Chain A
Amino acid sequence: MLEIVFLIPFLTGAGAFFLPNKIGRCLLVLTGAIHLILSVMIWAGRLTPIFPEYFAVTPEGLLSLLVISLLFFLISIYTIAYLKASDIHAENIFTGSMLLFLSTMTMVTLSDHIMVMWIAIEATTLASAPLIYTHRTAASLEATWKYVLICSVGIAMALLGSVLVTVAMDVGKVDAPISFTAMTDVAKKMDPMWLKAGFVFILVGYGTKMGLAPMHTWLPDAHSEAPSPASALLSGVLLNCAYLGIFKTNKIMHAAGLADFSGPILIVFGLISIMAAATFILKQTEYKRMLAYSSIENMGIIAFGTGIGGLGAYGAMICLIHHSLIKSSLFLTSGNILLGFGSRLIEHTGNLVNRMPKTFVAFFGGFAGISGFPPFGIFIGELLIIIGAFRTGNYVGAGFFILSLCVIFAGFANNVMKISFDTSDTTIRIKEEASLVWPQYALLLTSLVLCFWMPDTLHQTIIHAVNFDDFSTQAVEIVSRGGKVVQLFAFQANGTFRLMAVLRTDVLLVAACDAPETYPALTAKCEPFHMFEREIAEQYGIRPEGHPWLKMVRYHANCRSVDDVFGNDYTEDIPGRYDYYSVAGDEIHEVAVGPVHAGVIEPGHFRFNCIGERVLNLEIQLGYQHRGAEDLLLKADRKRIAFIAENIAGDTSVGHSLCHAQAMEALSGIQTDDGSKIIRTIGLELERIANHVGDLGALSGDVAFLPPANYCGRMRGDFLNMSLLMCGNRFGKGLVRPGGVRFPMNDDNRRDLTARIRELKPHVKHTIDLLFSTSSVRSRFEGCGTVSRSDAEKLGLVGPAGRACSIPYDVRRCFPTEHYGQLDIPENAEPTGDVWARAKVRADEVMQSIAFIESLLPDPVETEIIDMADMALAPDSFVVTLNEAWRGELSHCILTDGAGGILRYKVKDPSFHNWNGLSMSLRNTGISDFPLNNKSYNLSYCGFDL
């Protein structure tokens, strides 16, 4: 019964024409209230369309609908007071038309069918024309005439455009319903020529209605002649409706891969509109016209942002919402000024601050908001658009954009100053009805609140509006410029499949979009997506077309039970049975190792292609350790999940439990105390030391220098015992839990730890010195298994493996959590990228970590120990946590559903990046150096296999 939301205003509107004024006014507010309730129900997903082929709830439509509904309700309240204060001819026609106008606009937001959309937009013109003619003056007649004529020509063009789009389907021989949703799906197959033509006509057509220059000429007249409540609707929401038509068509263009065509056109129209508005605002003598030009400016901004795409499109969406709220408030306020001063000319006003103080507050607040003062949303939106423009290299456009905004601000400010502060002949207070100002306050307040607190579902609705092409272009863009992929994964929400990316530059960036069934692989343009796209293909059966090495990751069936991307038959539980990359030639031979290895280590298969002793290529096939941990985290009882998360990699128990705990804390709003932060930091550093020390020993053993091998083995145990001392487990299991830590650090513990470290530190130091000063060790370490910095960047190496290739990134320094913000984390980059560099980085980190712990032990540590914190997770939320585990960047993501249940749990162990580093190290390296290289990385099998 979705259609009911525009049927009700249609019926009440039709009725209002014939009813007495009093009843008409009641009907107006009542309809507004019912409409608002219905819209919220649609938001909550309670109403479904009866005619799904014509109507649908799309994210962008829903957004506009909510804005329309809220605005109309507040405006209707204002209208009552306004009607009382001014006398209007044929009030029944006015109220009737307002309601019909509401009905038609609602229909626009909900229509999915290209022709229904057109009809609805045309209907808005017809419904709103009588509103402009309300005052029955010559000027208003002219304005109405202009409006109807120009918009009708425009709308005719849009009709032509819509027909051309359907022709594009015909020519492309696609058979699909002509709804926007369906067309976006088949856009690839549509004929690009006709589609382009259709887009241009639609843009010009609906652009006329939206008020884009140079088709904007009707707008200033119409907006200034209409009574203020009607102007508020015209400007606040009618323009959005026209924009929806363009937005949806642009979406088809994106889906068809024609963003390169539609983007620049939108940018040009946007800039022309902004610049036209700038010229006219500067010398404006009427305040309502000034506001009208400001609307043209804002529509320009929105078109510009949409053309930029990505961040810009997101910014445009934000501007759209806030412009509606603020501009309609301004138009209502201008109604008050008109009522008070009786003139539309700026020079007839003045001293608003004293004469109408309440109106002044609304007026000035609106001015601040519309001019893009922080913290209003327009500021955020414009900022995002500018950033987006710079990111896409649109420097010239951004320049014009910023310049025009400055001019507009100057013109606007000048007039506002005149109206507000100019001394007028009298200072007599003009009477102000409360109900003539609070709707404006409410609108401004809504805008302000949305800047600081955006309901998550609304936020998702906006994020949702970012389509896949923008998503992928932006992601590739950011990563090609040196950004890194922290996470990229698929998930299922409300029946649709979506992608979520977490990227980092010097900040963390998050975006989500709907996942296509197949899509052009990002890896083809930008290497660091490589493993992530393979993982998505394996987990969700979404195929990245043109991926250079589309190979399974862990060998398991996808969760959607769709055809396997790799063509595997999983009734055979042997991941290693697969056609390995192979090299042909007389002297080529292959060596296969594993899954069961010679030592006491985890399983995995290694396939070497060698020429003589030299390795040409090492292919690593993992997946033997796959325990289904991510899925189990969704299914298992809450009391178990910390244990599951912690054991994803037992040698990184503290790292994993810390990432988990921080994520749960963020979602449940639990704070941890300072003492627990210190204990967690010590726990994570002990884990680092123990592992590094053990591996330095193993490295020494592999080059047959036995003393350090034995000493390190023993000392590693001593560090593990310190974890045992802290929490009763040598691997720190059970130390960290959401809410804090499970064991206190009392004075005895501190003394004991201090004494142990004091005794051990010189042993560690001397052993490391011995190792690195022994020439036989150096000669084996140096130049062995070198990875270049550029390869490391492309593979996305993290942690010591990355730092050994002069990538200094360290989560502890770049995104510090727990107590790390207070520690001085040095940059440990080494330039050579070989075994020596990896060993050196790890040895340095051992000594640094010992120093960190020493610095934390002297002061008493007070903490409230916890066991199982009671965790109610925020619904519809997303959290990502990062920590520098000993192997590098470790990250957990949690997405929650509407009830606060866990919708998706995604874990990325640093080894997910680094295994390919080991492969790269082996290129052109003697096969006998494999163990040495392997230990210099010592990667996690189970962390990778999850």
Chain B
Amino acid sequence: MLNVLKNRFEQGCKTSRYPKEKVQLLPRYRGRPEINPDAPSDVASACAAACPQNAIDPVAGTIDMGRCVFCGTCERISNGRFVTFTQDFAIAVAEKEHLFTKGDIPTLAEHSRQHFKKLFGRSLQLRQVSAAGCNACEADLNVLATPFFDLARFGINFVASPRHADGIVVTGPISRNMKTALLQTYEATPEPRVVIAVGSCTLTGGPFRGSPEITEGLDTLLPVDLFIPGCPPHPMTNLHALLNFFK
């Protein structure tokens, strides 16, 4: 018993005070991209050609955050002249068009569905469905339940049954073998229900784009309310998205 207490004191209190206090992520973290509209066109095209995800439109000067895996290749080869990544983790959006960014992302809270705020603002129960995710997106959702993020303090929980849920959170590129199970889970969730797509895979197929075994975008199957980009999205991105969309 003494041992247990000793340990308790050693560990201390680790829960973050977000959103009351700001959280600063480490320098190498790559969050919201910023694009220099005046970049020479050859630099922009070089970035577009090197991007493994073909996420860059050099003419429009935009990045499709749905495809982007935030690898930073474009920032590096343009030496920051075309793209720079900020430490801003608030990159979730409510409309698919908003994923194509020049650097500014519409404030999520203003684009969220107001009736959801009313319905789920105080209590939100979510069913997570992993549909061929690589377990990184899943893990960084799961981590929200650990003491640092402590999602439950906001009245948000992940539950075991879709029957008890207000919506589903989908990760992964939705493999052929998982599609039916996903759709059935969606059907089993009582209406009104929320659909949240997490990770580049779910948004566009991510790194697995082009494989006949997967689906390129959850929005081709279901109406998606909240898009959270990243590969995987940082837990803070997830947390920010949930709080701003529902609170």
A728 to B31, CA, bound (A): 9
A941 to B130, CA, bound (A): 11
Q: With A596-B185, A720-B143 given, name 13 new contacts (CB 8 A).
A: A573-B177, A596-B181, A600-B141, A627-B175, A637-B52, A643-B71, A648-B134, A717-B148, A721-B26, A729-B70, A731-B232, A742-B72, A945-B132
A923 to B162, CA, bound (A): 31
B11 within 8 A of A: yes
Known: A649-B135, A707-B7. A724 touches B177 (CB 8 A): no
- The 3 nearest A-B residue pairs measured at CB: A650-B136, A650-B134, A713-B146
Contact indicator B139/A650 (Cβ below 8 Å) = yes
Which of B92-100, B105-113, B211-219 has 4 or more CB atoms under 8 Å from chain A? B211-219
Task: Note all chain A residues with C-beta closer than 8 A to B162.
Answer: 596
A767 to B14, CA, bound (A): 15
Which of A90-98, A184-192, A628-636 has 4 or more CB atoms under 8 Å from chain B? A628-636
0/1 per residue, A704-743, Cβ < 8 Å to B? Answer: 0001001101101100110011111111011000000011
Jot down 29 A-B pairs with beta carbons below 8 A, ordered by A. A573-B176, A573-B179, A574-B181, A575-B177, A595-B181, A596-B162, A599-B160, A602-B135, A603-B131, A623-B177, A624-B177, A626-B177, A627-B208, A628-B212, A640-B52, A647-B206, A647-B208, A650-B137, A707-B4, A714-B11, A717-B143, A724-B25, A726-B28, A731-B139, A734-B72, A766-B7, A773-B3, A868-B73, A942-B133
- Shortest C-beta distance, A431 to chain B (Å), equals 68
Question: Which residues A204-250 have CB closer than 8 A to chain B?
Answer: none
Contact indicator B178/A625 (Cβ below 8 Å) = yes
B22 within 8 A of A: no
| Cross-interface CB contact of A643 among B28, B52, B130, B143, cutoff 8 Å | B52
A89 within 8 A of B: no
| Cross-interface CB contact of A650 among B8, B133, B178, cutoff 8 Å | B133
Known: A624-B178, A625-B178, A763-B11. A631 touches B135 (CB 8 A): no
Contact indicator B211/A725 (Cβ below 8 Å) = no
A945 to B4, CA, bound (A): 41
| Cross-interface CB contact of A714 among B134, B146, B185, cutoff 8 Å | B146
Question: Which residues B117-171 have CB closer than 8 A to chain A?
Answer: 127-143, 145-148, 158, 160-162
A639 within 8 A of B: yes
Contact indicator B185/A867 (Cβ below 8 Å) = no
Contact indicator A731/B136 (Cβ below 8 Å) = yes
A313 to B78, CA, bound (A): 57
Known: A628-B214, A632-B210, A942-B132. A762 touches B10 (CB 8 A): yes
A628 to B213, CA, bound (A): 6
Contact indicator B72/A600 (Cβ below 8 Å) = no
B interface residues (Cβ-Cβ under 8 A, vs A): 3-4, 6-8, 10-11, 14, 25-26, 28-30, 50-53, 69-73, 76-77, 127-143, 145-148, 158, 160-162, 172-173, 175-181, 185, 206-208, 210-214, 231-232, 234
| Cross-interface CB contact of B211 among A598, A632, A713, A743, cutoff 8 Å | A632
Contact indicator B26/A867 (Cβ below 8 Å) = no
A573 to B158, CA, bound (A): 27
Contact indicator A627/B132 (Cβ below 8 Å) = yes
A728 to B141, CA, bound (A): 18
Task: Note all chain A residues with C-beta closer than 8 A to B139.
Answer: 650-651, 731
Contact indicator A728/B30 (Cβ below 8 Å) = yes
A716 to B149, CA, bound (A): 13
A182 within 8 A of B: no
- Shortest C-beta distance, B55 to chain A (Å), equals 12
A584 within 8 A of B: no
Task: Note all chain A residues with C-beta closer than 8 A to B30.
Answer: 728
- Shortest C-beta distance, A349 to chain B (Å), equals 71
A269 to B164, CA, bound (A): 79
Contact indicator B7/A598 (Cβ below 8 Å) = no
Task: Note all chain B residues with C-beta closer than 8 A to A124.
Answer: none
A601 within 8 A of B: yes
0/1 per residue, A902-946, Cβ < 8 Å to B? Answer: 000000000000000000000000000000000000001110010
Name the residue of chain B whose CB is nearest to the CB of A605.
B181
A555 within 8 A of B: yes
A653 within 8 A of B: yes
Contact indicator B136/A733 (Cβ below 8 Å) = yes
A823 within 8 A of B: no
Name the residue of chain B whose CB is nearest to the CB of A636.
B210
Task: Note all chain A residues with C-beta closer than 8 A to B178.
Answer: 595, 603, 624-625
Contact indicator A733/B130 (Cβ below 8 Å) = no
Name the residue of chain A whose CB is nearest to the CB of B146.
A713
- Shortest C-beta distance, A247 to chain B (Å), equals 44
A556 within 8 A of B: yes
Contact indicator B207/A643 (Cβ below 8 Å) = yes
A783 to B132, CA, bound (A): 34
| Cross-interface CB contact of A640 among B25, B70, B207, B234, cutoff 8 Å | B207
Contact indicator B180/A573 (Cβ below 8 Å) = yes
Contact indicator B28/A626 (Cβ below 8 Å) = no
- Shortest C-beta distance, B7 to chain A (Å), equals 5
Task: Note all chain B residues with C-beta closer than 8 A to A742.
Answer: 72
A492 to B225, CA, bound (A): 45
A770 within 8 A of B: yes
A644 to B231, CA, bound (A): 12
0/1 per residue, A271-307, Cβ < 8 Å to B? Answer: 0000000000000000000000000000000000000
Task: Note all chain A residues with C-beta closer than 8 A to B133.
Answer: 602, 625, 650, 942
Task: Note all chain B residues with C-beta closer than 8 A to A574.
Answer: 177, 180-181
Contact indicator A600/B26 (Cβ below 8 Å) = no
Task: Note all chain B residues with C-beta closer than 8 A to A596.
Answer: 127, 129, 162, 181, 185
Contact indicator B4/A770 (Cβ below 8 Å) = yes
Contact indicator B134/A647 (Cβ below 8 Å) = yes
Contact indicator A649/B50 (Cβ below 8 Å) = no
Contact indicator B69/A643 (Cβ below 8 Å) = yes
Known: A635-B210, A868-B50, A942-B134. A627 touches B11 (CB 8 A): no
A647 to B199, CA, bound (A): 12
Name the residue of chain B whose CB is nearest to the CB of A598.
B160
Name the residue of chain B whose CB is nearest to the CB of A574.
B180
- Shortest C-beta distance, A920 to chain B (Å), equals 23
A648 to B72, CA, bound (A): 20
Contact indicator B132/A600 (Cβ below 8 Å) = no
Contact indicator A734/B71 (Cβ below 8 Å) = yes
Name the residue of chain B whose CB is nearest to the CB of A648.
B134
Name the residue of chain B whose CB is nearest to the CB of A712.
B146
Which residue, of B128, B130, B179, has the highest number of chain A Cβ atoms within 10 A?
Answer: B130
Contact indicator B77/A867 (Cβ below 8 Å) = yes
Contact indicator A710/B207 (Cβ below 8 Å) = no
Which residue, of A573, A721, A773, A868, has the highest number of chain B Cβ atoms within 10 A?
Answer: A573
A575 to B175, CA, bound (A): 11
Contact indicator B214/A711 (Cβ below 8 Å) = no
Task: Note all chain A residues with C-beta closer than 8 A to B77.
Answer: 867
- Shortest C-beta distance, B148 to chain A (Å), equals 6
Contact indicator B211/A600 (Cβ below 8 Å) = no
Known: A644-B207, A650-B135. A600 touches B160 (CB 8 A): no
Contact indicator B8/A707 (Cβ below 8 Å) = yes
A720 to B70, CA, bound (A): 17
Contact indicator B175/A650 (Cβ below 8 Å) = no
Which residue, of B73, B142, B178, has the highest number of chain A Cβ atoms within 10 A?
Answer: B178
- Shortest C-beta distance, B107 to chain A (Å), equals 25
Known: A627-B213, A647-B207, A650-B133. A555 touches B177 (CB 8 A): yes
Task: Note all chain A residues with C-beta closer than 8 A to B69.
Answer: 643, 733-734
Task: Note all chain B residues with C-beta closer than 8 A to A743.
Answer: 28
Task: Note all chain B residues with C-beta closer than 8 A to A867.
Answer: 73, 76-77
Task: Note all chain A residues with C-beta closer than 8 A to B134.
Answer: 647-651, 653, 942
Contact indicator B7/A651 (Cβ below 8 Å) = no
Contact indicator B28/A724 (Cβ below 8 Å) = yes
Which residue, of B131, B136, B142, B162, has the highest number of chain A Cβ atoms within 10 A?
Answer: B136
Contact indicator B10/A941 (Cβ below 8 Å) = no
Task: Note all chain A residues with C-beta closer than 8 A to B231.
Answer: 647, 729, 733
- Shortest C-beta distance, B58 to chain A (Å), equals 16
Contact indicator B148/A714 (Cβ below 8 Å) = yes
Contact indicator A724/B130 (Cβ below 8 Å) = no
